[in-house]
Amino acid sequence: MSTKVSQNQEDQEIDLALISKKVNHFFQRIDTSIFRAIQFFIRNWILAAVLILLGFLAGWYFDANRESYDNKIIVAPNFGSVDYLYAKIDLIDAKIASGDTVFLKNIVGISKPKIISKIEIKPISDAFKFVEDKEQNFDLIKLMAEDGDINKVLVDNVTSKNYTFHTISFISKELVDDKEVIEPLLKYLNNSEYFSSIQKIGFKNLEQQIAQNDTIIAQIDHVLKGFSSTVKNTGRNDKLVYYNENTQLNDIIKTKQYLVIEQGKNRLKLVSSDKTIKDINATLNIKNTKSVFGKLKFILPVLFILIFVFIYLFKAFYKKQFQKSL
């Protein structure tokens, strides 16, 4: 029994010694590799410095001539024009991708179509606004969420296209201003005979609704004023109780409250209903620092050095294998 135990201990010591030897050998190889790399750059420091300088100058040149800017326009499509708006933006993006500058210049009206490289539209998620005072929208979200994730439902096309605001984003190669891109783009989006007719009728209907509601509110105020005068002129408490318990009077007060709230919403709608595609805000010329834009002056020197090292290692590998084949 003791012989087996001592043998196991000896085996464990041998294993530990072997592992320790392999670990030391691994670190020695790393040290050797680092030393050889240092020697390589010392021997070739002039060429490495030239490559770094060339890479920096080339990167600086490309950064200066490949600037990119993000531009965003927040719009509100009115009168059921959401699908129309998305189709128009998709058409413009397809024309940009195909290089159809004639369409972009003559039809859309962009004076420098080549500076636009991409355009897209996305909804601004606002679930609370979507379900506000719209019980059917809330029921729709609940129904769609029964078989899936609520977050996916909120960004689904069926839901998201019905949000109030949407963002049109496009990338430009130069600085742009309103007159060059924004104004002609919005003019093109609003250039629809059908939706222009709908907009005029809808705007007029909204004005009439506001005027009618103001008339009704004035009539309700007249009724309430008459009631108040009646209460003041009577000294009978039982008559006052009777009026307080009058359900018709309560309905009149509730109707006025509803109309006042409705008038506030209608006046807000009136502000954004003067156009089919109403522009809310535009943020232009945000310099794009994503990806490699503006970073080539740092990337190219590293890339040139890596290519140089790769060529050196490849030549050394080829030379070694060639000598073996002799």
Question: Which structural domain range is residue 20 located in?
Answer: 2-64+294-325
Residues 213 and 162 in one domain: no
- Position 64 scores a pLDDT of 65
Residues 22 and 53 in one domain: yes
- Position 264 scores a pLDDT of 87
Residues 190 and 318 in one domain: no
Rounded CA separation 315/323 (Å) = 12
Residues 85 and 58 in one domain: no
Question: What are 74-133's pLDDT values in tens digits?
Answer: 999 999 899 999 999 999 999 999 999 999 999 999 988 888 888 999 988 766 565 555
State the total domains in the chain. 3
CATH of the domain at 189: 3.30.70.100
Least confident of 157-166, 186-195, 217-226: 157-166
- The answer to whether 302 and 52 are in contact (CB under 8 A) is no
Residues 156 and 255 in one domain: no
Q: How confident is the model at residue 138 (pLDDT cuts 50, 70, 90)?
A: low
Rounded CA separation 70/174 (Å) = 10
Greater model confidence, 305 or 168:
168
Greater model confidence, 36 or 210:
210
Residues 143 and 257 in one domain: no
Residues 90 and 181 in one domain: yes
Q: How many CB atoms lie within 10 A of CB 309?
A: 15
Mean pLDDT to the nearest integer, 51-61: 81
Residues 301 and 263 in one domain: no
Q: What are residue 283's phi and psi, to 5 degrees?
A: -120, 115
Residues 50 and 136 in one domain: no
Edge-first strand order for the sheet with 116-123 is 116-123, 166-172, 69-77, 277-287
Residues 186 and 225 in one domain: no
Question: What are 287-316's pLDDT values in tens digits?
Answer: 876 655 567 777 888 888 888 888 888 887
